[in-house]
Structure 1
Amino acid sequence: MPIRRKDLPTSAARRVIAAAAVTVFVAGCAGDVKGVLTPVTSTVPGTSKVTMLVATTRAADPDAGVLFSGERGKPAFVEMTISLPPDSTRKVGEVQWPSRLPGNPETDFVTLKVDKLDAKTGLARLHERVSRIPKRRVMVFVHGFNNRFEDAVYRFAQIVHDSDADVVPVLFTWPSRGSLFAYGYDRESATYSRNALENLLQALARDPAVGEVSLLAHSMGNWVALESLTQMAVRNRGIPPKIANVMLASPDVDAD
């Protein structure tokens, strides 16, 4: 069954496309410092904040600065708030990684808040947030090959901020080991995660507060996205109309 799409993306989707166009999607682009997700308490004037719901099929990591590993686990939800340096000190399209811990909010991306949630609470929080924005739009991002958890979180925060799109951001992150030598493992993990992404998209489509869903996938994340959408099309006899925009960046999928 063919996957429905709109010929012209909405203005919010166009802004995200523009932000993604100036973003250098580099696999494994994190800095050398590990544990950057430990929340910091210091703030400085002029910083920006991005709060996102994160849905993941990664296994939890005991390190609070890592949160989730590259191994496969049960679906989990986290709400995170990320601080970006003042626009005057950063380059659009780039993530400013901390060079030491704790990160400096004046010059680095840093984490301000991490709330681990069950699925019901996570979706309820999204419902509340999307109800408060005029056009009730949700943006779902699926990262690609060779991405650690922190790679996906900070990259999506950068895209959301630089696009200036009025959306509620939702990150779907699957178990990539963040290694150039783990392509086969990552590919299997992408397939492993398709049901969880479909369940997330189905929940968003059912939520009466959600007016529109845009899906942005990069690299191997396109495989997860297309598999999930195909399953939805078969199960629902079509893609829910709320899923209005599907954006495939550098797709790592077979041509057939």
Structure 2
Amino acid sequence: MSTWSGGRTLGTVAILFSFLLVGCAARLGSEALTPVAASAGGKTMQIYVATTRERDLSQNAFTANLANALNFARFSVSVPPNHKSGKIEMPTATPDPERDFAVVDRAALSEPEFRQAVTHQTNTQRKKHKVFVFVHGFNNTFQESLFRITQLQADMKIDGIPILFAWPSQGRVGAYEIDKQSANYSRDYLMALLTMLSSNSEVSDIMVVAHSMGAMLTVEALRQLRTEGKDRVIARLSRVVLAAPDINARTFRTNVQAIGPLKPPLLVLVSKDDGALRASSFLDGCIARAGDIDVDNPIVREAALKEKVQVVDISRLAKHDDLGHDRFVSVAVLYSRSHEKTLRYRNTAGTFIFTDDDTFLRPIDIGNRVAQ
């Protein structure tokens, strides 16, 4: 079977046009990374960064150019007192910590300093801890991805150290092919980061959440780790989530087969009305994407069961952008409320629907049970 899409039709050119309009909107500049005084009522998050972006020494920031080695940093980001779950209170040229996400401190780190930081030893005892790695998607600037992982950490309330893996997206819709090349270039560096974390005896769990084109990068990294026989690294991953994966659906199943079953299963968040992925399909020769497959399609259900993958339809959740490409943020908002209820399906492959009612995760087809 060459595709999980079952012959899904392409969206209209109007969707692509709206995608382009979104890309032309005013964007947050690197000035938003200039530290300001923290708000007394806000909450400050420590975000660690591993990036293939070139470091801008003059501004202690990162460019859209490729680096020839991983660069590391730490950012302290303040979440405003009036923060609403699921939203990034985006700053203007001069961030106001009372109303906006704002950087209140930042520091360049060497690799040894980064390793020490994620070891996270307490003063009284050595305690294992979790790590949350976020891989951003296409058309994201560094500052946008930094504020996104801060928002996810704030809303999901993950008890672990957040690490942003930032690859050099150009932050322009017209740079789709350049971004794809930059994501592919960053594969070995993501492998290196995961290998580093998995070899740290103080790290208990490694959760990876990858969005859009970042999911393509993550799948390629996992496939290469498996090809190189680095099974121990993959075994240390406590959960891998692909949110709206911008991956060619014709090759997605092949990659999943090469990686093999994960425990718990690979979690794929999909939405059949994701306008950005339809535009991506258009840009990629009208080939359907893995992130907009239809869970009602028998081919998808069969493939999810056979390959031992969790495919979850999140199209019933609230949108956080005009095209529905950031719906995964709604899952993050519900995570702390739904975590206990969804644990029963943690190791269950098949197709599901995620809702915002009391059921949260409803199985459609999990092999021995088909929901009505």
- C-alpha contact (below 8 Å) 1:56/1:174 kept by paired residues: yes
Distance 1:35 1:237, change over 3 A: closer
Which residue pairs with 1:39 in the alignment?
35
Q: Does 1:99 align with 2:92?
A: yes
Q: CA deviation at 1:236?
A: 2.9
- C-alpha contact (below 8 Å) 1:133/1:166 kept by paired residues: no
Distance 1:53 1:106, change over 3 A: same
AA in 2 matched with 1:143? H
Which residue pairs with 1:243 in the alignment?
237
Give, in whole Å, the separation in 2 of the partners of 1:209 and 1:29: 43
Q: CA deviation at 1:94?
A: 1.1
Which residue pairs with 1:20 in the alignment?
none
Q: Does 1:122 align with 2:104?
A: no
Q: CA deviation at 1:128?
A: 2.1
Correspondence 1:146-185 to 2 at 5 A: 146-185=139-178
Which residue pairs with 1:253 in the alignment?
247
AA in 2 matched with 1:53? Y
Q: CA deviation at 1:212?
A: 0.7
Which residue pairs with 1:15 in the alignment?
none
Which residue pairs with 1:60 in the alignment?
55
User: 109-118 or 184-193, which moves further after superposition?
Assistant: 109-118
Which residue pairs with 1:79 in the alignment?
74
Give, in whole Å, the separation in 2 of the partners of 1:99 and 1:192: 32
User: 238-247 or 175-184, which moves further after superposition?
Assistant: 238-247
Correspondence 1:19-34 to 2 at 5 A: 31-34=27-30
Describe the superposition over 1:154-208 as per-residue Cα deviations: whole angstroms up to 9, x where unpaired. 1100000011111110110001000000000000000000000000000111000
Give, in whole Å, the separation in 1 of the partners of 2:23 and 2:150: 16
AA in 1 matched with 2:56? D
Q: CA deviation at 1:115?
A: 1.0
Give, in whole Å, the separation in 2 of the partners of 1:33 and 1:194: 26
Distance 1:120 1:134, change over 3 A: closer
Describe the superposition over 1:122-178 as per-residue Cα deviations: whole angstroms up to 9, x where unpaired. 111111259989661101000000001001101100000011111110110001000
Q: Structure 2 unaligned segments of length 5 or more: list them.
A: 1-21, 252-372
Give, in whole Å, the separation in 2 of the partners of 1:79 and 1:129: 17
Higher-Rg member (1/2): 2
Q: Secondary structure at the match of 2:239?
A: strand
Distance 1:63 1:152, change over 3 A: farther
User: 129-138 or 199-208, which moves further after superposition?
Assistant: 129-138
- C-alpha contact (below 8 Å) 2:45/2:77 kept by paired residues: yes
- C-alpha contact (below 8 Å) 1:30/1:97 kept by paired residues: no
Distance 1:230 1:202, change over 3 A: same
AA in 2 matched with 1:108? D
Distance 1:57 1:27, change over 3 A: farther
Describe the superposition over 1:190-243 as per-residue Cα deviations: whole angstroms up to 9, x where unpaired. 000000000000011100000010100000001111111111112235253221
User: 153-162 or 91-100, which moves further after superposition?
Assistant: 91-100
Distance 1:52 1:43, change over 3 A: closer
Q: CA deviation at 1:52?
A: 1.5
Correspondence 1:224-239 to 2 at 5 A: 224-238=217-231
Distance 1:182 1:202, change over 3 A: same
TM-score normalised over the length of structure 1:
0.82
- C-alpha contact (below 8 Å) 2:41/2:80 kept by paired residues: yes
Give, in whole Å, the separation in 2 of the partners of 1:158 and 1:129: 25
Give, in whole Å, the separation in 2 of the partners of 1:158 and 1:130: 25
* Aligned alpha-carbon RMSD (Å): 2.3
Could you say which structure has the higher helix fraction? 2
Which residue pairs with 1:204 in the alignment?
197
Q: Secondary structure at the match of 1:105?
A: coil
TM-score normalised over the length of structure 2:
0.57
AA in 1 matched with 2:35? P
Distance 1:156 1:232, change over 3 A: same
